[in-house]
């Protein structure tokens, strides 16, 4: 019970104010996120694209010339970390410091995890709708967070997604995830995805409990 409480508390939005470095990184990620969306959604003239390409190449050159980021800065996946929520800036799904993240906003509601996100044009699969691969990735993140309700940290062993309706772009979507049961090291989870009252997809996830020391060795490449 104590471990379950600790796992739950680490996700609550009570973290300290962002540092200047984090704020700057999140600001830049937000600008890049806008640029990615605009590149997909607009049709600039070739001359404008050439000029913008030069700026983008200079930006990439400058970033690549900087010092490498330490791996201990934080985890990029919710399922296998035992650290405060603010360590997930790099997550490709929920990280405000990652320009490819929508980002997915997570919070606790009673006995479940709730995630909300708006997917823009850059996530399009079928015309006007979210690519199914991004739906699956978002489910993996939501279920990964939900499995911590069990009081353990684990990694995805199986993810099954049932697509019920096309998931629209540019709408606030709502994910809900919960733990169904535990059997030894196995943690069984389920989740739903809604657009308003419309059920767009459902998912089932099996997570395998992994020792935190092993996760640390995995992160180091041992």
Is the model more confident about 97 or about 79? 97
Total domains, the chain: 1
pTM summary value: 0.83
Q: For 80-117, how does the pLDDT look when each residue is reduced to its tens digit (9 = 90+)?
A: 444 444 457 888 999 999 999 999 999 988 889 999 99
Considering only CA atoms, which of 115, 117, 21 is closest in space to residue 69? Answer: 21
Considering only CA atoms, which of 81, 99, 97, 80 is closest in space to residue 89? Answer: 97
For residue 79, what pLDDT is reported? 47
Distances (CA, A) of 90 to 97, 103, 124, 193: 6, 11, 22, 23
Judge whether 101 lies within some domain: yes
- Please give the span between the terminal C-alpha atoms of the chain, in angstroms, as a whole number: 32
Judge whether 18 lies within some domain: no
In the chain, pLDDT over 70 holds for what percent of residues? 79
Judge whether 57 lies within some domain: no
Which residues, including other chains, have CB under 8 Å from residue 19's CB and lie 6 or more apart? none
Distances (CA, A) of 80 to 109, 127, 151, 180: 21, 34, 12, 19
Which residues, including other chains, have CB under 8 Å from residue 149's CB and lie 6 or more apart? 4, 7, 8, 111, 113, 178, 179
Judge whether 48 lies within some domain: no
Is the model more confident about 143 or about 23? 143
Contact call for residues 122 and 154 (beta carbons, < 8 A): no
Place of tokens 């606790």: 108
Going 217 to 219 to 220 to 222, the CA torsion angle's sign is positive
CATH number at residue 174: 3.10.129.10
Judge whether 215 lies within some domain: yes
Q: Which domain holds residue 178?
A: 2-13+71-220
Distances (CA, A) of 141 to 36, 85, 103: 22, 13, 11
Judge whether 213 lies within some domain: yes
* Low-confidence winner among 80-89, 138-147, 150-159, 182-191 (lowest mean pLDDT): 80-89
E strands in 13-125: 105-109, 112-118
Q: For 50-65, how does the pLDDT look when each residue is reduced to its tens digit (9 = 90+)?
A: 999 999 999 999 999 9
Judge whether 52 lies within some domain: no
Which residues, including other chains, have CB under 8 Å from residue 210's CB and lie 6 or more apart? 80, 153, 154, 155
- The pairing of beta strand 172-183 with beta strand 154-163: unpaired
Judge whether 98 lies within some domain: yes
| b/e sequence 65-95, b meaning 16+ C-beta within 10 Å | eeeeeeeeebbbbbbbbbeebbbbbbbbbbb
> Tokens for 118?
């708006």
């Amino acid at each position: 019970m104590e471990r379950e409480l600790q796992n739950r508390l680490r996700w609550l939005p009570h973290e300290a104010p962002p540092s200047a470095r984090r704020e700057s990184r999140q600001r830049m990620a937000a600008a890049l996120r806008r640029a990615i969306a605009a590149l997909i959604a607009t049709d600039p003239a070739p001359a404008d694209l050439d000029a913008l390409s030069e700026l983008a190449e200079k930006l990439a050159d400058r970033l690549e010339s900087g010092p490498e980021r330490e791996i201990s800065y934080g985890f990029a996946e919710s399922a296998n970390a035992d650290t405060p929520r603010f360590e997930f800036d790099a997550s490709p799904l929920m990280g405000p410091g990652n320009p490819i993240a929508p980002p997915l906003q997570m919070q606790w509601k009673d006995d479940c995890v709730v995630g909300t996100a708006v997917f823009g044009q850059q996530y399009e699969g079928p015309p006007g709708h979210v690519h199914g691969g991004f739906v699956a990735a978002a489910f993996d993140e939501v279920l990964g967070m939900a499995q911590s309700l069990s009081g353990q940290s684990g990694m995805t062993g199986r993810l099954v997604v049932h697509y019920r309706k096309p998931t629209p772009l540019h709408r606030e979507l709502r994910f809900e995830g919960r733990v169904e049961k535990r059997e030894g090291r196995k943690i069984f989870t389920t989740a739903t995805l809604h657009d308003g009252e419309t059920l767009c997809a459902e998912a089932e996830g099996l997570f395998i409990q992994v020792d935190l020391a092993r996760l640390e060795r995995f992160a180091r490449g041992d």
